[in-house]
Structure 1
Amino acid sequence: MSASTVTSVPTGTWNVDPSHSVVQFSVKHMGIATVKGQFNEFQGSLTIGEDGSASASGTVEVASVDTREAQRDEHLKSADFFDAASNPQISFQSTAIEPVDEETFKITGDITIHGITKPITLEATVEGTDTDPWGNERVGLSVTGQLNRGDFEMKFNQALGSGNVLVSDKVKLALDISAVKAA
């Protein structure tokens, strides 16, 4: 990877600040409405090397799923979906980070959900860098992607009379990240 790989993010290790970040997902419900959820417990890091190399990783605690509906959250934690008892974390490890332009890059990596690892490509936009009032260097990132839950053996569904299904297979991912440079 060339030194210009992530030109707008200074070298070093950047750790996700969960209190200023969000890991969200959305799916179509009945083919007509979008239902959003998030995970409340997660961690991650981005490392930019002096040589321009870059890597990203993260984990999410499945039991922290929050769709603002307790019954749905419990169903998502069950074996029909995430099976949180057997697979308590979702994990991601980048395999390549490539520039699209000055502020946008493509992150390719492996994501493990429900005990199954598959490749995924995400798009990340650097929203900026700044120093907070306590002297911490920060970087802001917006990350988006998409996956099919069926690829991870999460196939629970119900056919509707309209021809739609209760839960879409397509899941959209949206992460808004604030990361702090490690000392």
Structure 2
Amino acid sequence: MAKHRAPEGSPTDFDAATVALADVSGDYTIDVAHTRIGIRARHAMVTTVRGAFTDFAGEAHLDTLKPEASSVSIRIRTASVDTGQADRDAHLRSPDFLDVERWPEMVFASTDVEQVDEETFEVTGDLTIRDVTRPVTVEFTLTGSAKDPFGNTRVGFEGALSIKRSDWGLVWNTPLDTGGVLVSDRIQVEFDVSVIRSA
């Protein structure tokens, strides 16, 4: 089940998945300290702006023998958006975009999990942003599992989701004199997730 690992100390050693545990079935919570939920969008048609949400929580149920019985839910505090620039973050929190006063959370709740191959899973679920709920599918790759020094069973996943923000009513924009718009409609959401099995 484990990927081939490079020799110990090799520069590529940290890139290899470490699937050390045969059965990771159980209930898990997201380890916020070791998880990143990132976003990126094109700005002015010439560059990519990156950011992240820093306040979130979530749970997962993993079933090794019956992957379709697995599930995941994530709740993200919209006011926690952070792109490293205060004025831009204030605009993203405003009614032009996330409208955090009215809609303090974004929520993803899975409705189906399909195993594609040994380490790849397609997780379909409902994504709610503001007052709109639409189905999306995220392809997650299992990056490893291990028992950490504190006795916790950990499992890691990486995934990405491309959405059109206008599908959720986030339509604010400004046209450019040279053509195009200030902010791309298509947004990339990136997941680097570590979950810990519940006691």
How far off its partner does 1:9 sit?
Answer: 6.1
Letter of the aligned partner of 1:132 in structure 2? Answer: D
Counterpart selection for 2:180 from 143, 156, 164: 164
1:33-182 superposed matches below 5 A? 33-49=47-63, 52=66, 53-182=69-198
- 8 A Cα contact 1:42 1:60, kept in partner: yes
Larger gyration radius, structure 1 or structure 2: 2
Q: Which moved more, 1:51-60 or 1:74-83?
A: 51-60
Q: 2 CA distance for matches of 1:9 and 1:79?
A: 45
Q: 2 CA distance for matches of 1:88 and 1:59?
A: 10
Q: 2 CA distance for matches of 1:9 and 1:144?
A: 25
1:19 aligns with 2:33: yes
How far off its partner does 1:162 sit?
Answer: 1.5
- 8 A Cα contact 2:145 2:154, kept in partner: yes
Give the alignment's Cα RMSD to 1 decimal: 1.4
Q: 1 CA distance for matches of 2:187 and 2:195?
A: 25
Match of 2:24 in 1: 10
* Partner deviation per Cα, 1:139-169 (whole Å, 9 max, x = no partner): 0110111111001111110000121210000
SS at structure 2 position matched to 1:100: strand
Q: 1 CA distance for matches of 2:160 and 2:23?
A: 18
| Alignment CA distance shift 1:99-1:79 (3 Å) | same
Letter of the aligned partner of 1:110 in structure 2? Answer: D
Counterpart selection for 1:31 from 31, 35, 45: 45
| Alignment CA distance shift 1:39-1:51 (3 Å) | same
Alignment coverage as a number of residue pairs: 177
Q: Percent identical across equivalent pairs?
A: 38
| Alignment CA distance shift 1:34-1:19 (3 Å) | same
SS at structure 2 position matched to 1:168: strand
| Alignment CA distance shift 1:105-1:168 (3 Å) | same
Please list every run of at least 4 consecutive aligned residues from structure 1 whose deviation after the TM superposition is greater than 3 angstroms: none
Q: Give the TM-score taking structure 1 as reference length.
A: 0.93
- 8 A Cα contact 1:9 1:48, kept in partner: no
Letter of the aligned partner of 1:11 in structure 2? Answer: S
* Partner deviation per Cα, 1:112-132 (whole Å, 9 max, x = no partner): 001210111101000000011
